[in-house]
Amino acid sequence: MVSIAIMGHGVVGSGVAEIITTHKNKLYTSIGEEVYIKRILDLREFPDSPLADRFTKNFEDIINDREIRIVVEVMGGINPAYDFVKRSLKAGKSVVTSNKELVAAKGAELLQIAKDNNANFLFEASVGGGIPIIRPMSQCLVANIVDEIAGILNGTTNFILTKMIDEGMDFDTALKLAQELGYAERNPEADVEGHDACRKICILASLAFGKHVYPEYVHTEGITKITLKDVKYAAAWGGVIKLIGKVKMLENGKMDIMVAPMLIPCKSQLANIDDVFNGIMVRGDCTGDVVFYGKGAGKLPTASAVVADVIDCCKHLKTRKYLFWTDGDSSNVIDYKDSVSSFYIRVKSDDKDAALQSAKELFGNISPIALDEYEGECAFVTEPLKYSDAENYVKALADKGYETLSMLRIGDL
């Protein structure tokens, strides 16, 4: 019997308890021992829970219990999760977490503490919910040199964009619907401003390239400025707008990493990932593109990924999994202004031909998007160029009277 503790009894935490209870036989078969939930930490009371006798409000009941070998952290947020996880690892207990904020902010430090104490620190559920991604990347694709990772990493924004694309709903209406359906928080900032996706691409980048990438190094744009007009122009171009978290290893050994809405061609495997689903593309030198698709959030998908990590810890109580990266600093990441991509640019213009002619003089080769639905404006796609150059040309275009209404990157995916 392996005794574990679960810290947090919210959506994911109650899901973990549920799966361990309902899938008892499946777990027994794969571990060869029973998993016993000895303690559940939560400040709230759950008198009607079948596990009511296991609840505690005091972390000391967990840290001081030598029988508890594995601690599941599903509280979310940095504090007090960070302190509790650190103390658990220092006590030699393995920790499993679904907390992307914690892993993105403190991953390198916690992995080092785990290593020093011969314990495991696993976080499959922190990216992609129920989609296997951390373990496939660290084990199955280990014989590859990963060049690039790009993904739709946030279900809420993908739901909103899908409603805009498929049903012509505007951003505010789609956000309201997402809130009504429970897909978006009342304060949706972490999702719609891209912070959630940013944490996830930080974790994937750290894992792939071995150095911790902190969220503050990563240029992050949300989807609040995306209009239905942009969606229509994207369709006329032959694509869709998706919020993409993306990291690419450049030849100079630095990472080009960002989160931003991008135009993706319809033929891309990421273009067909709709609603609350997530999809992650990993480009390896041997495998080529591999894509993982599934539910990126939700009680049972996320909880099942947590439980898979618990099982892995049970099988490796005495040995460490080789999941590790070292600390990193901002010198590993290029300035987003130096990042190169093609751009979709929509400008105000009463004379479309003149505007496109001016654009051509500045940007060089451009491809106008054939859509005549909207008066007083036009849109075009540039060749690949640096963001800083694009910014300068946009300014010059404005000086000529053609104000830019939107500018989005083209995702080469």
User: Is residue 292 a contact residue for its own copies (CB under 8 A)?
Assistant: yes
Residue 112 token pair: 């080092």
Least gap, CB of 97 to its own copies (angstroms) = 16
411 and 244 Cβ atoms separated by less than 8 Å: yes
Residue 294 token pair: 């599934």
| 44, 182, 288, 375: residue in contact with its own copies (rule CB under 8 A) | 288
User: Is residue 206 a contact residue for its own copies (CB under 8 A)?
Assistant: no
**Residue 51's CB: how many other CB atoms inside 10 A?**
18
β-bridge mates for residue 54, sequence order = none
Nearer Cβ to its own copies (278/342):
278
105 and 203 Cβ atoms separated by less than 8 Å: no
Place of tokens 């429970």: 182
Nearer Cβ to its own copies (61/289):
289
CA torsion angle for 287, 288, 293, 297 (degrees, to 10)?
A: 90
Least gap, CB of 361 to its own copies (angstroms) = 39
Binding mask 98-137 for its own copies (x = CB under 8 A): --------------------------x-----xxx--xx-
User: Is residue 73 a contact residue for its own copies (CB under 8 A)?
Assistant: no
| 304, 332, 339, 341: residue in contact with its own copies (rule CB under 8 A) | 304
Nearest to 270 by CA among 364, 406, 154, 167: 154
Residue 80: cis peptide before it, omega within 30 degrees of 0: yes
Least gap, CB of 318 to its own copies (angstroms) = 9
Instruction: Give the residue numbers annotated as catalytic, written as ranges.
Output: 200
User: Is residue 286 a contact residue for its own copies (CB under 8 A)?
Assistant: yes
User: Is residue 289 a contact residue for its own copies (CB under 8 A)?
Assistant: yes
Element (H, E) at 159: helix 155-167
User: Is residue 86 a contact residue for its own copies (CB under 8 A)?
Assistant: no
Nearer Cβ to its own copies (42/312):
312
List CB contacts of 340: < 8 A, sequence separation 6 or more.
Answer: 256, 384, 385, 386, 387
| 82, 84, 293, 387: residue in contact with its own copies (rule CB under 8 A) | 293
User: Is residue 12 a contact residue for its own copies (CB under 8 A)?
Assistant: no
**Residue 412's CB: how many other CB atoms inside 10 A?**
16
Compute how many residues bind its own copies; rule: CB under 8 A. Answer: 51
249: buried, middle or exposed (CB in 10 Å: 19+, 13-18, 0-12)?
buried
Binding mask 321-350 for its own copies (x = CB under 8 A): -x----------------------------
Least gap, CB of 240 to its own copies (angstroms) = 13
User: Is residue 265 a contact residue for its own copies (CB under 8 A)?
Assistant: no
Least gap, CB of 122 to its own copies (angstroms) = 11
User: Is residue 144 a contact residue for its own copies (CB under 8 A)?
Assistant: yes
Nearer Cβ to its own copies (248/346):
248
| 284, 297, 341, 343: residue in contact with its own copies (rule CB under 8 A) | 284
Residue 277 token pair: 């689903």
Question: How many alpha carbons fall within 13 Å on the CB side of residue 209?
Answer: 27
158 and 276 Cβ atoms separated by less than 8 Å: yes
Nearer Cβ to its own copies (64/287):
287
Binding mask 215-254 for its own copies (x = CB under 8 A): ----------------------------------------
Site for its own copies in 23-42 (CB under 8 A): 23, 26-27, 29-32
DSSP 112: H
Nearer Cβ to its own copies (144/179):
144
Determine how β-strand 385-386 pairs with β-strand 377-382.
unpaired
| Integer CA distances (angstroms), 277 to 193, 242, 302, 327, 361, in order | 18, 12, 13, 31, 41
Q: What is the CA radius of gyration of the chain?
A: 23
| 10, 33, 36, 143: residue in contact with its own copies (rule CB under 8 A) | 143
User: Is residue 307 a contact residue for its own copies (CB under 8 A)?
Assistant: yes
Residue 61 token pair: 């009941």
Determine how β-strand 340-341 pairs with β-strand 385-386.
antiparallel
Q: Where are the beta strands (DSSP E) in 32-141?
A: 35-41, 55-56, 68-73, 94-97, 121-122
Nearer Cβ to its own copies (128/194):
128
Q: Which residues are near its own copies by CB under 8 A?
A: 15, 19, 23, 26-27, 29-32, 124, 130-132, 135-136, 139-145, 210, 269, 272, 284-295, 300-301, 303-308, 310-312, 315, 319, 322
